[in-house]
Amino acid sequence: MIRHWLAALLAAVLLVAGCAPDPQEDQADEGTESAASAQMEPPTDLPAADDAAAVLAEALAAGDVSAIPMQSAAAAAQQELEVIVAGMDDVAPTITVGDISYSGEDNSATATFQYSFPIGHEPWTYETQPVFKWVDAQWRLVWSPTVIHPELTELSRMRRVVTEPKRAPINDRNGVALVEEVSLFEVGIDKASVDQAQWAASARQLATVLDMDPAAFENKVLRGGERQFVIAQTLRQVDIPSGVAAIPGIHVKETKATVGPSDGFAASLLGIVGTPTAEMIAESEGRLTETDVIGLSGLQSRYNERLGGVPGVRVELVPRSEESSFQTKVVFNQEESVGAPITLSLDTDLQAKAEDILGGQQGIASIVAIDLATGGIAAAANSPAAGTYPYATYGKYAPGSTFKVVSALAMVRKGAKASSTVECTPQHTVGSYTFNNYPGYAHTGNITLADAIAYSCNTAFTRASANVTGAELHAAAGSLGVGTDYDAGFTSYFGTVDPQNDIDRAASMIGQGQVTMSPMGMAAVAASVAKGETVVPWLVDEYRAAPNAAPLTAAEAGELRAMMAETVNKGTATMLKGLATGAKSGTAQFGAQGQQSTHAWMIAYSGQYAVAAFVEVGDSGGTVAAPLIQQLLS
């Protein structure tokens, strides 16, 4: 009984002691906390290791630790670092120094390094804990592969593996691929696989089969290195002649390429795909390498992320040598995802026809056709001299008399009609500048506004500038789809209408002065008149800009259609009779005084399309640009 009582009493004492605060225990807890806090501060006789950690972080990010104080040889550490990161494609990490803890027992400091590698859609992040020892009055790094990654050993290194997804196509309005990634085959001579004495004969034989210059290809093969694969042509599989298989040293290598229906097809719109430039790589901050494939221009560039998808990216720790017992381990993995296609308003056949029409054109020339049913761009083509620059949608030129359609709308809004009488004088002076009609113009006097459009009288419109403000002219342009900047989802220019004074406003009324337009913009003017509503052309499905100007009314469009119909019936566009319902020609001077040339324009619409044709240097719209539209609509 006594023993049970003592046990109960002891339990009660312990229970009370556990519930009541103990000053000595509190002091002990405070001492423990102080000891823990002290671990984050250097011992009293040692300096902080912050500077040493910061210098190391910077050196590791730069890939050069050869100047870092270490307990072991820095040169050996540098050599090991280069081996470890050789497979990372020169992708440099960002390294942030976190907390540093200290141990007074061995005079050491342990830093926390936060690594961030920009190698995936999201960066690869992890931590390491490099250790420093205070030796010979300085903090020296205890070198180990774990400074670079916590799971590295002396038997392993890092390797980055990238798997490019199949690039999605750009489709036309019917869902047919305009450009898509396909397999092509490099056909050539592998010099390492055949005796040197055979090189010349094989080169000539292959060149003959591929319809190339035998002497030129032989020279190319002989100039190459002893083990070089010398490419003769890159072909689709169906285009490889069967006779190549028997040629000694022949080699066929599969490659991937993004191609269209023909070389250069809609190149200014679609753009090209290739490896990034050195400047792009530098600006990407590690996201791009010289082995990546990206869109470099046009829609391929603008929608690169969507079309290209997300590449598969994997970082592995792998053996440093074949004899190593280290087992490969994946430490970062981003799954590949295929890109998504984009669909355009382009009509493949009409685009090809426009390009064929411009194929023999000298100098810069463009054709743009808008499908009136949808407002989408059915074709936007340039002549060969344009290269890959998007003149059709982004050119900036004085539109000349084609802009009189815009001016006529401003006049209609002031009360004019197609049947209204206007005065067409031989000359008209505004301030210090005298405006004239084009040479040989014969329809002067009191004429209708419709005739002023049909015959393209300049002075009737410069005279009207006295009653049209710059703001009213700009508003009229906006109602016809131009003069306002839109982000239309592709490289596009909708023109500028901003007259600065009386002379400039008069010049603007006839498409000169400070007014500039693209062929696409003037096609939009014709489309707006034809449809009786403001048309802002679109190219990329699901990316259509909405008009932000005062709408064009049905009554206004009716007056403009009556004027443009007269241009076809009896004016400067009679060449288009039977093909176009309405049209307007234009000629605009450019260049230094006394050395001026002229742009030639024609805009027109049929029941299906609104079209603009532009020739950078041409005599007149009616003689130079109109034939291009005639061929397109025929």
Tell me the chain's radius of gyration from C-alpha atoms: 38
Distance of CA 2 to the CA centre of its chain: 93
pLDDT at 346: 97
pLDDT digits (tens, 9 = 90+) for 473-489: 999 999 999 999 999 99
Shortest CA distance to 358 belongs to which of 618, 614, 619, 622?
A: 614
Give the least confident one: 235-244, 274-283, 489-498, 539-548.
274-283
How many angstroms separate the CA atoms of 395 and 616, rounded? 10
Mean of the per-residue pLDDT values of the chain: 90
436 within 8 A of 427, measured Cβ to Cβ:
yes
DSSP 434: E
598 within 8 A of 619, measured Cβ to Cβ:
yes
582 within 8 A of 529, measured Cβ to Cβ:
yes
Average pLDDT over residues 432-461: 95
What is the DSSP code string of 191-207? GGGS-GGGHHHHHHHHH
pLDDT at 590: 85
Query: Which span out of 185-189, 278-282, 409-413 was modeled with the highest average pLDDT?
Result: 409-413
How many angstroms separate the CA atoms of 58 and 377, rounded? 52
Count CA atoms closer than 13 A to 150's CA, side-chain side. Answer: 10
pLDDT at 182: 74
The kind and range of the H/E element at 130 are none
611 within 8 A of 347, measured Cβ to Cβ:
no
pLDDT digits (tens, 9 = 90+) for 26-54: 434 443 343 443 388 998 889 999 999 99
* Sequence-ordered list of residues with C-beta below 8 angstroms from that of 454, at least 6 positions apart, any chain: 563, 566, 567, 569, 570, 571, 572
Neighbours of 103 (CB within 10 A): 14
pLDDT digits (tens, 9 = 90+) for 576-616: 999 999 999 999 988 777 778 899 999 999 999 999 999 99
Neighbours of 544 (CB within 10 A): 17
Q: What is the pTM of this model?
A: 0.73
Average pLDDT over residues 358-372: 96
In Å, how far are 204, 216, 549, 555 from 211, measured between CA atoms? Answer: 10, 12, 58, 63
Better-predicted residue by pLDDT, 114 or 120: 114
Compute the Cα dihedral for 521, 526, 529, 533 and give only its sign. negative
Give the least confident one: 102-106, 266-270, 283-287.
283-287
Percent of the chain exceeding pLDDT 90 equals 76
First to last CA, the chain: 122
How many angstroms separate the CA atoms of 576 and 627, rounded? 8
pLDDT digits (tens, 9 = 90+) for 46-76: 999 999 999 999 999 999 999 999 999 999 9
* Confidence grade of residue 104 (pLDDT, cut at 50, 70, 90): confident
Token pair 């205070």: residue: 134
Which residue segments constitute the domains of the chain, with CATH numbers given?
49-154 (3.10.450.100), 170-334 (3.90.1310), 348-633 (3.40.710.10)
